[in-house]
Structure 1
Amino acid sequence: MRADAEGYVARIDAALNLVKMSLDWDRALRRLDELNAKVEDPTLWDNPKAAEEVMRERRRLDAAIGTVREIDADKAGTVELIELAEMEGDAELGDEGAASLKALADRADRDKVAALLSGEADSNDT
């Protein structure tokens, strides 16, 4: 794979690793499973305030985890496309793939900053 594409992959990986670290990835996955189980409980809305807090935390974690997974899947697909383009000798397709990786790296950097600036209390009023 070309050097510029490899650099974009490295940027994406670094951003995703930082986001995972800030989320405490394994804990976040377990917590999302717990919250999903709570949402299935028919007594959840017996206490509306507590239910809203559960739903807010669930949405935040689901969005963060979903974004990481989406970027990672897009990266893998684009890398595969670039490798296929190189095997086929299709420079134009390889360039398009590299441009896609650059855009994905930029998105990963933006999402990294957003994740680092967000926290449990960030959705609260000042």
Structure 2
Amino acid sequence: MPIRTASARWSGNLTEGSGTIKTGKGGYEGNYSFKSRFEEGEGTNPEELIGAAHAGCFSMAFSKGLADAGFTPTSVETTAKVHLDKGDAGFGVTRIDLETVGDVPGIDEGTFQKIAEGAKENCPISRLLSPGAEITLSAKLA
């Protein structure tokens, strides 16, 4: 399997500085700052990128689980809400809320929920993040 890379560059101090984040193959490049991370400033932040990775990974795992069970999804759309909270040890990602909507012809609600839960538990990004953050799931049929 290939090794995936990303990079970041930061200039200046924490509160007044700024930086850029980019993926190794040039698929994404964005600015980030203290304000985009801890306030409502323009740009991205590491937590949004974690959310994007988790939403993408879950959607692929869910699509595979559905197909393996004989249900080819028309679409799976997932949003990941990443909670960055301050605790005794400092800031940390404490919870990620996955919200997904699947357009899956012919599937019943119980099977849909079971496969969604399996994808939440087993996608590689969930397995990476779950020891340190609670992961919740809201799965709805379109």
- Give the greater-gyration-radius structure (CA): 1
TM range (shorter): 0.3 to 0.5
TM-score relative to the length of structure 2: 0.29
- For normalisation by structure 1, the TM-score amounts to 0.32
Bigger helix fraction = 1
Whose relative contact order is higher, 1 or 2, with alpha carbons under 8 Å and at least 6 apart? 1
- Looking at secondary structure, tell me which structure has more strand per residue: 2
